[in-house]
Chains A and B, each alone.
Chain A
Amino acid sequence: MKRAFPILGLLTAGLLSYALYQALVVAPTEQTMGDVQRIFYYHVPSAWTAFLLFFLNFLASIQYLVRRDPKSDKVANWVVIALGVLTCAAPYVFRGLLPPGVYPSSVVTTGIAFVGLYFLIHKLFSEQQTDMLALTTAEVGVVFCTVVLVTGPLWARPVWGIWWTWDVRLTSTLVLWLIYVSYLVLRRFSSSGQTPVLAAALAVFGALDVPLVYFSIWFFRTQHPQPVIGGGGSIDPRMLRVLLINWLAFLCFAFLVCWSRYRLERTKREVEETQALEALLEPRSAVR
């Protein structure tokens, strides 16, 4: 396992370099925005990666709460399957009710991803390990989300003349960032006994909040229209290819960073356990 890491690291670095070359040289120059548009190839994959990581945090948090009791664990498994089926069926049953910018295929993919990732985590991680996974994905997710919030204004300024606009996507991303930063603060500030449970509860609340955040800001924006950063509409297939290459590269990078962070956390907990054990077994140091 340890041997794999440097090899994967080199491969990822290679992939990232190739992706950078694609973004800066190979991708066609955008007609209206010019070269600045190439920020898109870093901005969008970072956003997708951050959302994926936060999604994993949500799944890991639910699992941590649910697996403490075997009965609730079984119930949760069935609920997840049911929700997955419903999600896949929903865009076809409620054809007219889809909010703008949301396609049936992405809803179905989310449903399948939800069920698949949930059971994958269930298989690969023990109860305590899901807590470490939750912490890892939240932290790395915040890093990627920060990248999104920094590259967004750097793109907006030359193109639209403003550093920031309270449009749906930017504002929702900002709120998401705030929620997960508060999650990390809670983890830092609470005493170690109950941190995992409290953090998991907060993560679930945050995840429940996300659709509400999106809808509220979306309706707010239909009332008070403003420029939309990043615009909708179709994308040139050559640009899409470069975008996907960059996304793949960043996913690999995110995976390696998460793996490092996870290993760090595991070592840290082992050290703490050993220190606690050692303090118990040392009668001299206990007497003060």
Chain B
Amino acid sequence: MTFLYAAYAATWTIHIVYLFTLARRYSRLKKEVDELSKKI
């Protein structure tokens, strides 16, 4: 049933999107850490 696959796909899409935003925030943060460690 298409609805079944849609539901499972939607679940993982939502989780993956969230993890992706976490990863992006993390890389941005890492850039700031590198900048700071250069100054110190």
Interfacial residues, chain A to chain B (CB-CB below 8 A): 20, 34-36, 38-39, 42-43, 46, 140, 143, 146-147, 150-151, 154-155, 157-158, 253, 257, 260-261, 264, 267-268, 271, 274-275, 278
- Interfacial chain B residues near A275, Cβ < 8 Å: 32, 36
Main secondary structure of the interface of B (DSSP, over half): helix
The 7 closest A-B pairs by CB, nearest first: A154-B7, A39-B7, A151-B7, A158-B3, A143-B18, A36-B1, A150-B10
Closest Cβ of chain B to A239, distance in Å, is: 15
Bound together, the chains give a CA A36 to CA B32 distance in angstroms of 47
- Interfacial chain B residues near A20, Cβ < 8 Å: 8
Bound together, the chains give a CA A39 to CA B11 distance in angstroms of 10
Interface string of B7-18 (1 = CB under 8 A from A): 110110011001
| B side interface size, CB within 8 A | 21
Closest Cβ of chain B to A147, distance in Å, is: 5
Q: Taking A147-B11, A154-B6, A154-B7 as contacts, is the C-beta distance between A271 and B39 under 8 angstroms? A: no
Interfacial residues, chain B to chain A (CB-CB below 8 A): 1, 3-4, 6-8, 10-11, 14-15, 18-19, 22, 25-26, 29, 32-33, 36, 39-40
